[in-house]
């Protein structure tokens, strides 16, 4: 069965590229442009992993992490923060709010992101 | 010729008309004069005249000035002092002599809050711009990657070569943005080192590997000298130390002549490891030596030889090495070459 990924990203060019690439890599992908929409989608879609941006219109990615923590089922879904914020305290904040990883978009290729996604989904199996 | 002598009250009038703070003490450290500017900066009044310097301890803000200069009133030249969240001062303290005899002690205080604020805004601007630049860079990088993988249709060999070049340039730009962010962080005093026991040689070799191709292209004779004893692992931040090696190697190669030499030597000393990176490059002009570690500064001969460059490498290296409680310095002769040294304590 295809693994399900939810992308929460407001920049269309980035979310479109991620969407296409992940689709072609065999994932089932859904997108959301805001944290609020992301929560709604996550509840309907119940993904295997969430790719989350931090700087979003309205609620931030950090608030998204806080929200899903409160939901018994969603709190189990692994989240990779994929942001262009990358200072030490920003990374620490993501991790302390429960994200599995905090990655900097500009430093990674799509292929490296997919590798990371697979690694984390594999870890979650056990 | 017209001449007149100023009376004491004239001096007071003149000194009261400037916004800088002036405080004068006699040799027994008794306050003999204070101007209006000083009173305003430190929220006190002229009744302090006649009191000992220690009296400043009774005033919340002036207390900080006392701690800066100490009861011995040490000679100070334009030292920065933060008195409140939004009040930054530059303080100088000097003994005035009449012939050989000390006459009085002069304390000058200049409000630099506005300049600090502008500097802070500038730093924030660099930080925000760097973050903003990363988004289009990610978009470009991923799009090119997508094209290179042939996912948007097949591409010719020539197109492939050009796209690979663009991909490489995007990566270079990403590094520059990263460096700009680090500089902005360092300016805000926010560089936070993640210290862990690490192998300095491993970090050095990984930095060298980035420059092997460039050294080959420039026919640089490269040598590395290690101490006989095995280097102990020391507490450092591997990522930041990598940046220091990269900055120093980059300069040693970039500003070297074709067929020149680069030599790295490591010394194991009692309490520290010393690293020397020697090159046979253009050297640093004598006049510019004091400026070489300044942020964004590039020596004039370096700018001439390589017009592009951010001037952040040495500034960051200094911040990083000092953050590790080490020291960094250099010896250089224009036209002959430069050796950068730094030490790291064995902790």
Q: Which domains are delineated in chain A?
A: 4-123 (3.40.50.2300)
More confident residue, B267 or B189: B267
B1 pLDDT higher than 60: no
Query: Could you tell me which residues come within 8 angstroms of residue B227 by beta carbon, excluding any fewer than 6 positions away?
Result: B266, B267, B268
Task: State phi, psi for B32 to the nearest 5 degrees.
Answer: -110, -15
User: What are the tokens at B21?
Assistant: 């703070």
Gap from A46 CA to chain B (nearest CA, Å): 27
Distance CA B271, CA B111 (A): 41
pLDDT of amino acid B5: 67
* % of residues, chain B, pLDDT over 70: 97
CB contact under 8 A, A84 and B134: yes
Task: Tell me the average pLDDT of chain B.
Answer: 90
Q: How many helices (H) and strands (E) does chain B have?
A: 9, 12
DSSP B52: B
* % of residues, chain B, pLDDT over 90: 66
Strand boundaries in chain B, DSSP class E? 21-25, 31-34, 76-84, 87-98, 101-111, 196-198, 221-225, 234-236, 261-268, 272-279, 328-333, 337-345
More confident residue, B4 or B170: B170
pLDDT tens, position by position, B274-284:
999 999 999 99
Class of domain B8-111: alpha beta
Chain B residues with CB-CB distance to A84 below 8 A: 131, 134-135, 138
Gap from B241 CA to chain A (nearest CA, Å): 16
pLDDT of amino acid B3: 58
Distance CA B241, CA B321 (A): 8
B128 pLDDT higher than 90: no
Chain B stretch 179-238, residues whose beta carbon is closer than 8 A to a beta carbon of chain A:
181, 185, 190, 192, 194
B129 — contact with chain A (CB < 8 Å)?
no
Q: Are B45 and B31 in contact (CB under 8 A)?
A: no
pLDDT of amino acid A36: 96
Q: How do the domains of chain B map onto residue ranges?
A: 8-111, 117-191, 196-347
Q: How confident is the model at residue B182 (pLDDT cuts 50, 70, 90)?
A: confident
Distance CA B46, CA A15 (A): 66
Q: Which residue, A82, A103, A115, A111, is CA-closest to B151?
A: A111
Q: What is the mean pLDDT of residues B227-255?
A: 93
Alpha carbon B8 to chain centroid distance? 44
Neighbours of B232 (CB within 10 A): 12
Q: Which of A18, A85, A106 sits opposite B174 (nearest CB)?
A: A106
B259 pLDDT higher than 60: yes
pLDDT tens, position by position, B18-43:
999 999 999 899 999 999 999 999 99
Q: Which residue, A18, A39, A26, is CA-closest to A118?
A: A26
ipTM: 0.90
CB contact under 8 A, B192 and A17: no
Q: What is the mean pLDDT of residues B323-343?
A: 96
Q: How confident is the model at residue B295 (pLDDT cuts 50, 70, 90)?
A: confident
More confident residue, B303 or B128: B303
Q: How confident is the model at residue B199 (pLDDT cuts 50, 70, 90)?
A: very high
DSSP B226: -
Q: How confident is the model at residue A124 (pLDDT cuts 50, 70, 90)?
A: confident
Q: Which residue, A90, A69, A88, is CA-closest to A78?
A: A69
**A118-122 — which CB contacts under 8 Å span 24+ positions?**
A120/A49, A120/A78, A120/A80, A121/A3, A121/A48, A121/A49, A121/A78
Pairing relationship of beta strands B221-225 and B196-198 according to DSSP bridges: unpaired
B76 — contact with chain A (CB < 8 Å)?
no
pLDDT of amino acid A126: 59
Gap from A121 CA to chain B (nearest CA, Å): 22
Task: State phi, psi for A51 to the nearest 5 degrees.
Answer: -100, 120
H or E stretch at A63: helix A61-70
pLDDT tens, position by position, B92-116:
999 999 888 889 999 999 999 998 8
pLDDT tens, position by position, A46-103:
999 999 999 999 999 999 999 999 999 999 999 999 999 887 778 889 999 999 999 9
Domain B196-347: assigned CATH number = 3.30.565.10
Pairing relationship of beta strands B337-345 and A101-104 according to DSSP bridges: unpaired
pLDDT of amino acid B16: 93
Q: What angle do CA A84, A85, A87 make, to 5 degrees?
A: 135
Q: Are B68 and B91 in contact (CB under 8 A)?
A: yes
User: What are the tokens at A87?
Assistant: 């200072």
pLDDT of amino acid B304: 85
SS (H, E, C) B128-153: HHHHHHHHHHHHHHHHHHHHHCCCCC
Strand boundaries in chain A, DSSP class E? 4-8, 28-32, 49-52, 79-83, 101-104
The SS3 call for residue B55 is: helix
Q: What is the mean pLDDT of residues B47-64?
A: 93
């Amino acid at each position: 069965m295809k693994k399900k990924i939810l992308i929460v990203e407001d920049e269309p060019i980035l979310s479109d590229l991620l969407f296409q690439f992940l689709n072609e890599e065999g994932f089932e992908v859904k997108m959301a442009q805001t944290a609020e929409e992301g929560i709604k989608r996550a509840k309907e879609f119940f993904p295997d992993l969430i790719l989350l941006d931090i700087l979003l219109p309205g609620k931030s990615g950090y608030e998204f992490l806080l929200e899903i923590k409160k939901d018994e089922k969603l709190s189990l879904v692994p989240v990779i923060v994929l942001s262009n914020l990358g200072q030490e305290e920003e990374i620490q904040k993501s991790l302390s709010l429960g994200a599995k990883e905090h990655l900097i978009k500009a430093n990674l290729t799509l292929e490296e992101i997919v590798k990371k996604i697979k690694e984390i989904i594999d870890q979650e199996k056990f | 010729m017209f001449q007149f002598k100023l009376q004491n009250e004239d001096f007071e009038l003149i000194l009261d008309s400037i916004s800088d703070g002036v405080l004068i003490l006699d040799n027994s450290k008794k306050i003999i004069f204070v101007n209006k500017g000083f009173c305003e900066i430190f929220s006190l009044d002229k009744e302090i005249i006649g009191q000992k310097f220690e009296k400043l301890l009774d005033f919340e803000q002036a207390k900080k000035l006392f701690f800066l200069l100490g009861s011995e009133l040490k000679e100070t030249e334009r030292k920065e002092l933060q008195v409140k969240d939004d009040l930054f001062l530059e303080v100088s303290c000097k003994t005035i002599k009449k012939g050989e005899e000390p006459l009085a002690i002069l304390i000058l205080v200049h409000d630099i809050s506005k300049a600090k604020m502008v500097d802070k805004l500038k730093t924030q601007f660099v930080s925000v711009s760097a973050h903003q630049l990363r988004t289009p860079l990610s978009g470009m990088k991923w799009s090119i990657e997508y094209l290179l993988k042939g996912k948007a249709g097949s591409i010719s060999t020539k197109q492939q070569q050009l796209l690979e070049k663009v991909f490489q340039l995007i990566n270079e730009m990403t590094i520059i943005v990263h460096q700009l962010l680090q500089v902005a962080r360092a300016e805000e005093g926010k560089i936070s080192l993640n210290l862990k026991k690490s192998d300095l040689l491993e970090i050095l070799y990984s930095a060298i590997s980035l420059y092997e191709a460039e050294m080959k292209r420039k026919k640089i004779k490269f040598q590395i000298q290690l101490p006989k004893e095995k280097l102990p692992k020391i507490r450092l931040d591997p990522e930041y130390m990598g940046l220091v090696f990269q900055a120093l190697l980059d300069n040693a190669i970039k500003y070297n002549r074709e067929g020149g030499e680069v030599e790295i030597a490591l010394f194991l000393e009692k309490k520290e490891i010393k690293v020397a990176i020697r090159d046979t490059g253009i050297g640093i002009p004598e006049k510019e030596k004091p400026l070489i570690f300044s942020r964004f500064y590039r020596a004039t001969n370096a700018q001439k030889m390589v017009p592009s460059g951010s001037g952040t490498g040495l500034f960051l290296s200094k911040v990083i090495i000092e953050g590790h409680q080490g020291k960094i310095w250099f010896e250089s002769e224009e036209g002959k070459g430069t050796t950068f040294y730094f030490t790291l304590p064995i902790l």
